[in-house]
Amino acid sequence: MPAFPRPCRLLLALLPLAATLGLAGCDGPGLDTTPPRPTPPESRFAGEAMVRQADVAGAARPADGAGEAPDARIEERRGYRLQFEAAEALVAAYRETHEACVASEHCQVEQGRLQTPRHGLASGYLALRVARDQVERAEPVRLVAESPALSGVEVTRHDRTQQVIDTEARLAQQIVLRERLQELAREGRGFSERRIQDLLQVERELARVQGEIESMQGQQRHLARVTDTVAITADFQQQRWVEPRQHGVLAPLWRALDRSVSLFFESVGQVILVVVFLTPWLVIGLPVLWLLSRLWRPLRRALSRLGERRRARRRVAGS
């Protein structure tokens, strides 16, 4: 290999460097190879803080209609229907429920009725008032709700919150008005005679306001009573036993025969009643009839003789 002079060797060493620089410049002047500038940490932290604040505000805001207000006043009624096959079981359940309510200090019997007819089905009815906070643990409610004879339950709830709030607001306004009227009445004691009419008008208005206050207070007590307690009604009924033959193809025939037999015996019963009704009159009437028949025979003979004499006289007068 021929030896190059020293300047040539230096030129050959610089050629690869020049080629590299030329290839690097071919990418074009429009391409920005500068690495992206990192986001300042304080701006990222500020965005996260805003998101957290929005989440907290959304969680703190209560959802519309989410649950019942803690001071809601609800009137609740529960109705229980119980059916028994025997009258003895019905009477026992009725008396047990009634005695349990009487023995409890949180229960009050408002109405009670028990009917055990000699001919017919037994029935009973109980209307109770139980404290709201004790209704789930009350013994009368447990006896009725856990009875094997329970056939139906009906629960109704009415919101009385707005009515209670309106009554309290109107009552407070009337009390303020009463105080003002009382103050005017006290000041009017020293009125002159020409202002007596004004004083009388104040007194009449004060009496009217007092009447409205007492009426609202009564309504307030009633609302408190119906919302602080739960109305419980229990309807005890003895069910009629349905025989299997009453369901089938021959059911109309069986019903007709049953009604025919019932109608026959009802007719026999009516005849017996008629006989029993007429028996005292027969006891009194037979002697009277016998006496009248004994008196009628002489009277009839006397009348016949009188008639014969009149006919004889007519014959003599005609001859």
Q: What is the mean pLDDT of residues 212-226?
A: 89
Asked if the 74-158 domain carries CATH number 1.10.10, the reply is no
Mean pLDDT of 311-319: 79
Please give the average per-residue pLDDT across 236-262, as a whole number. Answer: 75
pLDDT the model gives residue 28: 42
Question: What's the mean pLDDT in 271-282?
Answer: 88
| pLDDT for 16 | 52
Q: Do residues 230 and 108 lie in contact, with contact meaning Cβ atoms separated by under 8 Å?
A: no
CA atoms of 103 and 111, how far apart (whole Å): 16
* Closest CA relative to residue 151, chosen from 225, 239, 217: 239
**Six token digits for residue 79:** 């109705």
Confidence band (pLDDT; 50, 70, 90) for 272? very high
Percent of the chain with pLDDT over 90: 25
Q: Which amino acid is at 52?
A: R
Which strand ranges, in their side-by-side order, compose the sheet holding 229-238? 107-115, 123-131, 229-238, 74-84, 150-159
Q: What is the pLDDT of residue 244?
A: 55
d(C-alpha 44, C-alpha 39), whole Å = 7
Residue 247 has pLDDT above 90, yes or no: no
Distance, in Å, from the CA atom of 139 to the CA atom of 144, rounded to the nearest integer, reads: 9
For 102, 244, 273, the CA distances from 248, given in Å and listed in that order, are: 48, 8, 38
Dump pLDDT digits (tens) for 115-141: 988 878 899 999 999 999 988 889 999
Report yes or no on whether pTM surpasses 0.85.
Answer: no
Name which residue leads in pLDDT, 105 or 43.
Answer: 105
C-alpha separations of 131 from 194, 217, 228, 299, 302 in Å? 58, 21, 6, 89, 94
Three-class SS state of 157: strand
Cα–Cα distance for residue pair 73/68, rounded to 1 Å:
10
- The DSSP symbol for 119 reads S
What's residue 236's pLDDT?
95
Q: Which residue has the higher pLDDT, 292 or 23?
A: 292
Give the confidence band of 198 by pLDDT, cuts at 50, 70, 90: confident
Q: What is the pLDDT, as a whole number, of residue 84?
A: 93
The pLDDT of residue 53 is above 50? no
Residues 6 or more apart in contact with residue 167 via CB below 8 angstroms: 216, 219, 220, 223
Residue 53 one-letter amino acid = Q
Q: Is residue 65's pLDDT more than 70?
A: no
The whole-chain average pLDDT of the chain stands at 76
Query: Where are the domains positioned within the chain?
Result: 74-158, 162-227
Compute CA 227 distance to the chain's CA centroid, rounded to the nearest angstrom.
12
pLDDT digits (tens, 9 = 90+) for 154-181: 999 999 888 888 888 998 988 888 888 8
Answer yes or no: are the C-beta atoms of 156 and 76 closer than 8 Å: yes
| C-alpha to C-alpha distance for 117 and 67, rounded to whole angstroms | 49
More confident residue, 160 or 255: 160
Q: How many CB atoms lie within 10 A of CB 96?
A: 15
Whose tokens are 């006290």? That residue is 186
Burial zone of 166 (CB within 10 Å; 0-12 exposed, 13-18 middle, 19+ buried): exposed
* Amino acid 128: pLDDT: 94
Q: Please check the confidence at residue 49 and state whether its pLDDT lies above 80.
A: no
Query: Residue 79 in 3-state DSSP?
Result: strand
